[in-house]
Chains A and B, each alone.
Chain A
Amino acid sequence: GDSVTQMEGPVTLSEEAFLTINCTYTATGYPSLFWYVQYPGEGLQLLLKATKADDKGSNKGFEATYRKETTSFHLEKGSVQVSDSAVYFCALRDSNYQLIWGAGTKLIIKP
Protein backbone atom coordinates (compact mmCIF):
# COMPACT_ATOMS: atom_id res chain seq x y z
CA GLY A 1 0.00 0.00 0.00
CA ASP A 2 0.87 3.66 -0.14
CA SER A 3 3.25 4.95 2.51
CA VAL A 4 5.22 8.02 3.58
CA THR A 5 8.61 8.03 5.28
CA GLN A 6 10.09 11.13 6.80
CA MET A 7 13.27 11.76 8.72
CA GLU A 8 13.21 11.08 12.41
CA GLY A 9 13.45 13.91 14.86
CA PRO A 10 13.96 15.86 16.79
CA VAL A 11 15.81 18.20 14.51
CA THR A 12 17.50 20.94 16.50
CA LEU A 13 18.77 24.07 14.76
CA SER A 14 19.86 27.55 15.68
CA GLU A 15 17.84 30.54 14.57
CA GLU A 16 18.55 31.60 10.95
CA ALA A 17 19.90 28.17 10.02
CA PHE A 18 18.87 26.36 6.83
CA LEU A 19 16.27 23.65 7.27
CA THR A 20 15.69 20.45 5.35
CA ILE A 21 13.25 17.76 6.45
CA ASN A 22 13.31 14.76 4.15
CA CYS A 23 10.18 13.01 2.98
CA THR A 24 9.88 10.12 0.53
CA TYR A 25 6.80 8.24 -0.53
CA THR A 26 5.61 5.01 -2.10
CA ALA A 27 2.41 5.17 -4.08
CA THR A 28 0.60 3.83 -7.09
CA GLY A 29 -0.29 6.52 -9.54
CA TYR A 30 0.46 10.17 -8.96
CA PRO A 31 -0.67 11.30 -5.53
CA SER A 32 -0.92 14.85 -4.29
CA LEU A 33 1.61 15.64 -1.59
CA PHE A 34 1.27 17.79 1.51
CA TRP A 35 3.17 19.19 4.44
CA TYR A 36 1.18 19.84 7.60
CA VAL A 37 2.44 21.58 10.73
CA GLN A 38 1.31 21.10 14.31
CA TYR A 39 2.27 23.85 16.73
CA PRO A 40 2.24 23.01 20.45
CA GLY A 41 -1.32 22.73 21.74
CA GLU A 42 -2.88 23.38 18.33
CA GLY A 43 -4.45 21.35 15.56
CA LEU A 44 -2.82 20.30 12.32
CA GLN A 45 -2.56 23.04 9.70
CA LEU A 46 -1.84 22.67 6.04
CA LEU A 47 1.53 24.29 5.34
CA LEU A 48 1.88 23.65 1.61
CA LYS A 49 0.95 21.21 -1.10
CA ALA A 50 1.84 20.07 -4.61
CA THR A 51 -0.48 18.19 -6.91
CA LYS A 52 1.76 17.06 -9.76
CA ALA A 53 5.36 16.33 -10.61
CA ASP A 54 7.74 19.31 -10.54
CA ASP A 55 5.18 21.48 -8.74
CA LYS A 56 6.67 23.59 -5.96
CA GLY A 57 4.52 24.33 -2.94
CA SER A 58 5.46 27.33 -0.82
CA ASN A 59 4.14 29.16 2.23
CA LYS A 60 5.61 31.22 5.08
CA GLY A 61 9.11 30.86 3.62
CA PHE A 62 8.86 27.07 3.42
CA GLU A 63 9.16 25.26 0.09
CA ALA A 64 8.89 21.70 -1.17
CA THR A 65 9.18 20.36 -4.72
CA TYR A 66 7.35 17.26 -5.95
CA ARG A 67 10.09 15.02 -7.39
CA LYS A 68 8.60 12.04 -9.16
CA GLU A 69 11.97 10.59 -10.19
CA THR A 70 13.13 10.34 -6.57
CA THR A 71 9.61 10.01 -5.05
CA SER A 72 10.47 12.81 -2.67
CA PHE A 73 8.91 15.97 -1.28
CA HIS A 74 11.56 17.46 1.00
CA LEU A 75 10.65 20.51 3.09
CA GLU A 76 13.11 23.43 3.09
CA LYS A 77 13.40 26.88 4.61
CA GLY A 78 16.30 29.22 4.16
CA SER A 79 16.30 30.85 7.60
CA VAL A 80 14.31 29.37 10.45
CA GLN A 81 12.89 31.26 13.40
CA VAL A 82 12.09 30.19 16.94
CA SER A 83 8.41 30.43 16.02
CA ASP A 84 8.90 27.60 13.47
CA SER A 85 9.34 25.13 16.32
CA ALA A 86 6.63 22.54 15.78
CA VAL A 87 6.02 19.03 14.49
CA TYR A 88 5.96 18.72 10.70
CA PHE A 89 4.07 15.94 8.91
CA CYS A 90 4.45 14.85 5.31
CA ALA A 91 1.37 13.24 3.77
CA LEU A 92 0.06 11.99 0.46
CA ARG A 93 -3.51 11.83 -0.79
CA ASP A 94 -4.35 8.53 -2.36
CA SER A 95 -6.83 7.77 -5.10
CA ASN A 96 -9.66 7.50 -2.55
CA TYR A 97 -8.93 11.01 -1.24
CA GLN A 98 -7.52 9.56 1.97
CA LEU A 99 -4.45 11.10 3.56
CA ILE A 100 -1.54 8.77 4.31
CA TRP A 101 0.81 10.29 6.88
CA GLY A 102 4.43 10.13 7.86
CA ALA A 103 5.34 9.80 11.53
CA GLY A 104 6.17 13.49 11.92
CA THR A 105 9.41 15.33 12.58
CA LYS A 106 9.77 17.53 15.62
CA LEU A 107 11.68 20.73 14.90
CA ILE A 108 13.31 22.68 17.72
CA ILE A 109 14.78 26.09 16.96
CA LYS A 110 17.08 27.60 19.56
CA PRO A 111 17.60 31.37 19.78
Chain B
Amino acid sequence: DTGVSQNPRHKITKRGQNVTFRCDPISEHNRLYWYRQTLGQGPEFLTYFQNEAQLEKSRLLSDRFSAERPKGSFSTLEIQRTEQGDSAMYLCASSLVSSGRYNEQFFGPGTRLTVL
Protein backbone atom coordinates (compact mmCIF):
# COMPACT_ATOMS: atom_id res chain seq x y z
CA ASP B 1 0.00 0.00 0.00
CA THR B 2 1.62 3.28 -1.08
CA GLY B 3 -0.95 5.68 0.34
CA VAL B 4 -0.79 7.89 3.42
CA SER B 5 -1.12 5.91 6.63
CA GLN B 6 -1.98 7.10 10.11
CA ASN B 7 -1.73 5.39 13.47
CA PRO B 8 -3.59 4.79 15.59
CA ARG B 9 -6.96 4.93 13.86
CA HIS B 10 -8.76 5.54 17.13
CA LYS B 11 -7.57 6.89 20.47
CA ILE B 12 -9.59 7.28 23.64
CA THR B 13 -7.92 9.12 26.47
CA LYS B 14 -8.74 10.86 29.70
CA ARG B 15 -8.60 14.60 30.06
CA GLY B 16 -5.13 15.74 31.02
CA GLN B 17 -3.28 12.88 29.37
CA ASN B 18 -0.81 13.29 26.52
CA VAL B 19 -1.38 11.62 23.16
CA THR B 20 0.81 11.19 20.08
CA PHE B 21 -0.28 10.38 16.54
CA ARG B 22 1.88 9.24 13.67
CA CYS B 23 1.58 9.90 9.95
CA ASP B 24 3.53 8.13 7.22
CA PRO B 25 3.23 10.07 3.94
CA ILE B 26 3.67 8.83 0.41
CA SER B 27 7.39 8.23 0.20
CA GLU B 28 8.43 10.76 -2.45
CA HIS B 29 6.20 13.56 -1.13
CA ASN B 30 8.01 16.55 0.33
CA ARG B 31 5.05 18.27 1.96
CA LEU B 32 3.11 16.94 4.90
CA TYR B 33 0.02 18.57 6.38
CA TRP B 34 -1.95 18.13 9.56
CA TYR B 35 -5.64 19.03 9.76
CA ARG B 36 -8.33 18.72 12.37
CA GLN B 37 -11.90 17.87 11.44
CA THR B 38 -14.89 18.03 13.75
CA LEU B 39 -18.30 16.55 13.00
CA GLY B 40 -20.16 18.44 10.32
CA GLN B 41 -17.22 20.63 9.40
CA GLY B 42 -14.54 20.66 6.79
CA PRO B 43 -10.91 20.10 7.73
CA GLU B 44 -9.14 22.93 9.55
CA PHE B 45 -5.49 23.47 8.75
CA LEU B 46 -3.12 22.99 11.69
CA THR B 47 0.42 22.95 10.30
CA TYR B 48 2.57 21.79 7.44
CA PHE B 49 6.13 20.69 6.74
CA GLN B 50 8.30 21.06 3.70
CA ASN B 51 10.71 18.18 4.15
CA GLU B 52 11.74 18.45 7.83
CA ALA B 53 11.03 22.18 8.20
CA GLN B 54 7.78 23.25 9.81
CA LEU B 55 6.84 26.24 7.66
CA GLU B 56 3.48 27.32 8.99
CA LYS B 57 1.34 26.84 12.05
CA SER B 58 -2.28 27.84 12.39
CA ARG B 59 -3.43 30.00 15.27
CA LEU B 60 -5.60 26.98 16.11
CA LEU B 61 -2.43 25.18 17.17
CA SER B 62 -2.13 26.05 20.84
CA ASP B 63 1.03 25.58 22.87
CA ARG B 64 -0.23 22.15 23.88
CA PHE B 65 0.16 20.93 20.31
CA SER B 66 3.51 20.11 18.79
CA ALA B 67 4.39 18.46 15.51
CA GLU B 68 7.67 17.09 14.22
CA ARG B 69 8.99 15.59 11.04
CA PRO B 70 12.55 14.80 12.10
CA LYS B 71 13.91 13.20 8.94
CA GLY B 72 11.53 14.60 6.42
CA SER B 73 9.63 11.35 6.25
CA PHE B 74 7.05 10.41 8.90
CA SER B 75 5.56 13.00 11.23
CA THR B 76 4.17 12.97 14.75
CA LEU B 77 1.55 15.22 16.29
CA GLU B 78 1.53 15.40 20.07
CA ILE B 79 -1.18 16.92 22.21
CA GLN B 80 -0.27 17.56 25.81
CA ARG B 81 -2.77 17.85 28.67
CA THR B 82 -5.67 16.92 26.43
CA GLU B 83 -9.00 18.70 26.84
CA GLN B 84 -12.47 17.55 25.82
CA GLY B 85 -12.45 20.17 23.10
CA ASP B 86 -9.55 18.34 21.45
CA SER B 87 -11.90 15.50 20.49
CA ALA B 88 -11.87 15.40 16.70
CA MET B 89 -10.56 13.55 13.68
CA TYR B 90 -6.92 14.41 13.00
CA LEU B 91 -6.06 14.13 9.33
CA CYS B 92 -2.69 13.94 7.67
CA ALA B 93 -2.06 14.66 4.01
CA SER B 94 1.00 14.72 1.79
CA SER B 95 1.84 16.22 -1.56
CA LEU B 96 4.73 16.82 -3.92
CA VAL B 97 5.49 20.45 -4.61
CA SER B 98 8.32 21.19 -6.98
CA SER B 99 9.44 23.85 -9.44
CA GLY B 100 6.38 25.99 -8.72
CA ARG B 101 4.05 23.09 -9.50
CA TYR B 102 1.57 21.85 -6.97
CA ASN B 103 0.26 18.33 -6.88
CA GLU B 104 -2.85 17.27 -5.08
CA GLN B 105 -2.88 16.47 -1.42
CA PHE B 106 -3.41 12.79 -0.62
CA PHE B 107 -5.13 12.15 2.66
CA GLY B 108 -4.75 9.41 5.21
CA PRO B 109 -7.76 7.78 6.91
CA GLY B 110 -7.36 9.92 10.01
CA THR B 111 -7.00 9.32 13.74
CA ARG B 112 -10.18 9.80 15.73
CA LEU B 113 -9.44 11.19 19.19
CA THR B 114 -11.97 11.02 21.99
CA VAL B 115 -11.13 12.81 25.22
CA LEU B 116 -13.26 11.70 28.15
Interface flag for B104 (CB, 8 Å): yes
8 tightest A-B CB contacts, nearest first: A101-B42, A44-B107, A43-B107, A43-B109, A46-B104, A101-B43, A103-B42, A89-B42
Determine if B43 and A103 form an interchain contact, defined as CB atoms under 8 angstroms apart: no
**Which residues does chain B contribute within 8 Å of A42, judged by CB atoms?**
109
A98 CB to nearest chain B CB (Å): 6
Determine if B40 and A104 form an interchain contact, defined as CB atoms under 8 angstroms apart: yes
A52 CB to nearest chain B CB (Å): 14
Q: A49-B104, A93-B102 are in contact. Are A43 and B91 (CB under 8 A)?
A: yes
**Which residues does chain B contribute within 8 Å of A98, judged by CB atoms?**
45, 48, 56
A residues with CB within 8 A of B: 4, 32, 34, 36, 41-46, 49, 89, 91, 93, 96-99, 101-104
Determine if B104 and A96 form an interchain contact, defined as CB atoms under 8 angstroms apart: no
Q: A96-B56, A101-B43 are in contact. Are A43 and B102 (CB under 8 A)?
A: no
**Which residues does chain A contribute within 8 Å of B61, judged by CB atoms?**
none
Q: A43-B4, A43-B110 are in contact. Are A103 and B41 (CB under 8 A)?
A: yes
A32–B104 alpha-carbon span in the complex (Å): 11
Enumerate B39-78 residues with CB–CB distance to A below 8 Å.
40-45, 48, 56
B95 CB to nearest chain A CB (Å): 8
Determine if A104 and B102 form an interchain contact, defined as CB atoms under 8 angstroms apart: no
Number of B interface residues at 8 Å Cβ cutoff, please give it.
21
B residues with CB within 8 A of A: 3-4, 40-45, 48, 56, 91, 93, 97, 102, 104-110
B67 CB to nearest chain A CB (Å): 16
Q: Which residue of B lies closest to A42 (CB)?
A: B109
Q: Which residue of B lies closest to A6 (CB)?
A: B42
**Which residues does chain A contribute within 8 Å of B102, judged by CB atoms?**
32, 93, 97
Determine if A45 and B107 form an interchain contact, defined as CB atoms under 8 angstroms apart: yes
A36–B107 alpha-carbon span in the complex (Å): 10
A6–B30 alpha-carbon span in the complex (Å): 31
